[in-house]
């Protein structure tokens, strides 16, 4: 909010990680629990833990296009263009919606410019 106070629905990345860690504890084999925890780690800047959670999510459900997308983004940020492209290809060749596919194309194009 403009005055520096949080809106009632706003939480910090650290708080999100804590919430999703608890949800993950309740459902350790739930692909979406791993996906959500990975997303929270991504936002908090803990890329290694995010990668680990996205990989766990995909071990439970290999069709989670958002997990493939975020792995592609993270591998790209870490300088591993080969792995990044492989993940973006999975998004482009999977059942992802058009917007996510468009974002994957943009990210792939950026890999060649780094």
pTM above 0.85, yes or no: no
Instruction: With a cut of 70, say whether residue 39 has pLDDT above it.
Output: yes
Check residue 20 and give its pLDDT. 61
CA–CA separation, 41 vs 61, rounded Å? 19
Share of the chain above pLDDT 70, in %: 78
Q: Indicate whether 19 and 47 sit together in one domain.
A: yes
Greatest Cα pair distance in the chain:
45
Whether residues 33 and 44 fall in one domain: yes
What's the mean pLDDT when you consider all of the chain? 85
Answer whether 60's CB lies under 8 Å from 30's CB.
yes
Residue 3 belongs to a domain: no
Chain segment 82-102, per-residue pLDDT in tens: 999 999 999 999 988 999 999
Return the pLDDT at 92.
96
* Domain boundaries, position 36: 12-61
State the total domains in the chain. Answer: 2
Residues 80, 53 share a domain: no
């Amino acid at each position: 909010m403009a005055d520096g106070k949080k809106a009632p629905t706003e939480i910090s990345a650290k708080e999100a990680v804590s919430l999703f860690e608890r949800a993950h504890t309740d459902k350790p084999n739930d692909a979406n629990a791993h996906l959500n925890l990975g997303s929270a780690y991504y936002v908090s800047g803990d890329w290694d833990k995010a990668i680990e959670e996205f990989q766990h999510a995909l071990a439970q459900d290999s069709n989670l296009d958002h997990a493939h997308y975020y792995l592609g983004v993270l591998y790209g940020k870490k300088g591993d263009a080969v792995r990044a492209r492989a993940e973006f290809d999975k998004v482009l060749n999977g059942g992802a919606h058009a917007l996510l596919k468009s974002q994957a194309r943009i990210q792939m194009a950026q890999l060649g410019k780094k």
